């Protein structure tokens, strides 16, 4: 009987080694291109395979264990599950502060400070990004031309919640209406591929007292190209402004549905850190803290929204293609 038990133990150990080896092989294959992950998996596999000797008579308990076949191994998920992710479209005119808004979000999610700024999108005074995001920026010193020619995704995790912010090309830039039409199609196409949309964030320069010609063009294009269903709940981010000292008249937007305004002083990225005096740092720290509080409230509002289908975007896209063909 004892020989039979020893034989069972050896068989169980061998089966477990084979199954685990197969699983680790798949993980190593999935980690191709990520040297850090690949190295960690290599170390982990070596450690595990040495921890279960094939001839050990005490590595597996014959009473409490059973063979695990390859069919029982949980399949490897090679794509990110975004079903519960909040997906937010960020739009605005060129020079409104969209890139700075993304940078402030990055600092909020990744615990940046004035003394240790997190840079997702390079800018004039911070030309080197600190975060590993993909971006496609034009001349960071030219504020009259959209710095972004494509739609870029920025994903964050906070308190177990996933957020995806889709940064888009600026509207109403100096390249004219034809470029805006291309940007609108880029936005619609990008949103269509998201599979759902939770909120729309419109970024506006809060230092402007009223609707300029450019702002009017932006609003007109939004109304003409974005389905009404996604404009039911709009988050308005006013840059270069504080909640108690903003000049912009929100009602001038005349948007249908609910509008939720938030305010952000973006001085941390719009000024040269080399010029900051002690007094300036004190003021900037206050503004920074206020902006972080506004972002926390903004995320709370996003959390209260439900993700909507983007089928309306596809319908709008089909209509535009149909009209262009006609």
Domains of the chain, start order: 86-324 (3.40.50.300)
Backbone angles phi, psi at 45, to 5 degrees: -65, -40
- CA separation for the pair 326, 321 (Å, rounded): 9
Checking if the pLDDT of 295 tops 90, the result is yes
pTM higher than 0.75, yes or no?
Answer: no
- CA separation for the pair 29, 25 (Å, rounded): 6
DSSP 144: S
Calculated CA dihedral for residues 268, 269, 273, 276, nearest 10 degrees? -40
pLDDT at 232: 79
Indicate the pairing of strand 258-264 with strand 233-239.
parallel
Helix 177-192 crosses helix 213-225 at what angle (to 10 degrees)? Answer: 40
Q: Residue 304 in contact with residue 168, Cβ under 8 Å?
A: no
Indicate the pairing of strand 199-205 with strand 152-158.
unpaired
DSSP 306: P
pLDDT at 263: 94
pLDDT tens-digit map of 64-120: 333 333 333 443 333 455 568 999 999 988 888 999 999 999 999 999 999 999 999
Highest mean pLDDT among 68-72, 86-90, 169-173, 252-256: 86-90
């Amino acid at each position: 009987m004892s020989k039979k038990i020893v034989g069972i133990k050896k068989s169980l150990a061998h089966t477990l080694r084979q199954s685990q080896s197969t699983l680790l092989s798949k993980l190593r294959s999935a980690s191709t291109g990520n040297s850090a992950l690949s190295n960690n998996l290599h170390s982990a596999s070596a450690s595990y395979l040495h921890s279960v000797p094939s001839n050990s008579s005490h590595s597996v308990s014959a009473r409490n264990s059973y063979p695990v076949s390859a069919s029982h191994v949980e399949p490897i998920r090679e794509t990110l599950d975004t079903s519960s992710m909040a997906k937010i479209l960020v739009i605005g005119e060129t020079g409104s502060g969209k890139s700075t808004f993304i940078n402030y979000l990055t600092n909020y999610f990744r615990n940046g400070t004035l003394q240790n700024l997190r840079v997702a999108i390079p800018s004039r005074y911070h030309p080197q990004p600190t975060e590993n995001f993909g971006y496609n920026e034009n001349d960071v010193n030219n504020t009259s031309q959209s710095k972004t020619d494509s739609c870029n995704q920025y994903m964050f995790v906070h308190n177990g919640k996933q957020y995806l912010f889709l940064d888009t090309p600026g509207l109403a830039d100096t390249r004219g209406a034809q470029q805006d039409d291309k940007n609108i199609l880029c936005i619609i196409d990008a949103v269509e591929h998201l599979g759902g949309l939770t909120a729309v964030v419109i970024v506006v320069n809060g230092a402007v007292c009223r609707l300029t010609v450019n702002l009017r063009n932006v609003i007109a294009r939004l109304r003409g190209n974005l389905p009404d269903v996604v404009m039911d709940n709009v988050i308005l981010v006013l840059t270069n402004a504080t909640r108690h000292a903003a000049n912009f008249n929100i009602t001038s937007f005349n948007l249908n549905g609910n509008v939720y305004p938030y305010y952000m002083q973006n001085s941390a990225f719009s000024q040269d850190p080399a010029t900051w005096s002690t007094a300036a740092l004190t003021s900037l720290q206050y503004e920074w803290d206020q902006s972080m509080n506004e972002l926390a409230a903004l995320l709370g509002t996003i959390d209260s929204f439900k993700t909507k289908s983007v089928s309306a975007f596809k319908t709008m896209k089909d209509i535009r293609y149909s009209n262009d063909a006609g």
